[in-house]
Amino acid sequence: AQSVTQPDIHITVSEGASLELRCNYSYGATPYLFWYVQSPGQGLQLLLKYFSGDTLVQGIKGFEAEFKRSQSSFNLRKPSVHWSDAAEYFCAVGGESQGNLIFGKGTKLSVKP
């Protein structure tokens, strides 16, 4: 079955600290992987995506993610968190011939001053 697991429901980090949000997926074919961010009352904004090639992908707002096929993981990282990064983050998986995305339940990020 196709699925995405985000083990952490809520994470709190101090401003300036590093961040890693975990994502594990289950997908039968070659996965296309995505991270989206959602601020309160807003839609989803794409942070980054991985289709193939270099397993370390860079995204907007200083985020990066690393694809590890052996671990079925696609963790999101940021070296130094800003207060404006407080939001909910969603990992998603799709396939080449598949128009829809399968989302994880999300990780809510709080940032302490």
Minimum Å distance from CB 109 to other proteins?
A: 16
**Residue 77 pairs with which residues in a beta bridge?**
20, 64
Residue 44 interacts with other proteins (CB under 8 A): yes or no? yes
Residue 22 interacts with other proteins (CB under 8 A): yes or no? no
Residue 3 interacts with other proteins (CB under 8 A): yes or no? no
Hey, how many other C-beta atoms are within 10 angstroms of the C-beta on 70?
5
Residue 97 interacts with other proteins (CB under 8 A): yes or no? yes
Query: For the chain, how long is the longest CA-to-CA vector?
Result: 44
Tell me if 103 sits within 8 A of 90, measured CB to CB. yes
Binding site for other proteins (CB under 8 A): 32, 36, 41-46, 49, 51, 90, 92, 94-106
